[in-house]
Amino acid sequence: MSPEHQLSRRERQIMDVLHEKEAAAAAEIRAALPDPPSYSSVRALLRILEDKGHIKHRQDGARYIYLPCISRATASKSALKRLVATFFQGSATQAMAALLETHDTELSDAELNQLRELIKQAKKEGY
C-alpha cells in the first residue's frame, strides 16, 4: 500500500493546505482546516506526517515552518491515479467520459483543441 493510502482524513486535509500554501506554520495550517482541531492536535498530526516522510520543517525564529516533501503536481498525479483506479477500474477513458458528462462541464473550442493536442501528444509518446 502506498504512503498516500495511509493518511487519515485530517492528515490529507493538512497535506492539502500545505500543497496550497507551499509552506506554513502550525497556526496557519490550523486556521485553514475545516472544523479545526486543537492547536496541540495539529502539532501532533504534523509530527506524524513528518515521521511518515510526507512533510519536513525548517525553523523560522521560534516557530517551525512545514513544507510538503513532494510537489503539488506529483501529489495531484498520484491522487488522480488513485481516483481512476478506485472509481473507474483504472480506465482513463471512463474517467474522462465522466468528467465530460457532468452538467457543469462546458468546454470552449480552445479547451477542446487543447485536449485534442494532449491526446495527439500522448499517442506520439506511446501512452
Q: Are residues 11 and 64 in the same domain?
A: yes
| Cβ contacts of 15 within 8 Å, gap of 6 or more | 7, 49, 54, 55, 68, 75
The residue out of 68, 96, 114 marking a domain boundary is: 68
Output the pLDDT for position 5: 52
Sheet holding 24-25, edge to edge: 24-25, 63-68, 55-60
Output the pLDDT for position 1: 40
Output the pLDDT for position 6: 77
Q: Are residues 52 and 97 in the same domain?
A: no
Q: Are residues 111 and 64 in the same domain?
A: no
Domain count, the chain: 2
Domain that holds residue 93: 88-124
The residues facing 65 across adjacent strands are 25, 58
Q: Are residues 59 and 92 in the same domain?
A: no
Residue 81 lies in a domain: no
Output the pLDDT for position 106: 82
Residue 67: closest CA among 79, 53, 77: 53
Q: Are residues 92 and 49 in the same domain?
A: no
The tens place of each residue's pLDDT in the chain, 127 residues long, gives 454 557 899 999 999 999 999 999 999 999 999 999 999 999 999 999 999 999 999 999 999 999 999 988 888 888 889 899 999 999 988 998 898 888 777 888 999 899 999 999 989 988 7
CATH code for the domain in which residue 11 is found:
1.10.10.10
Output the pLDDT for position 27: 97
Residue 123, Ramachandran bin (φ over 0: left; ψ between -120 and 50: alpha; else beta): alpha
Sign for the pseudo-dihedral over CA of 13, 16, 18, 24: negative
Q: Are residues 102 and 61 in the same domain?
A: no
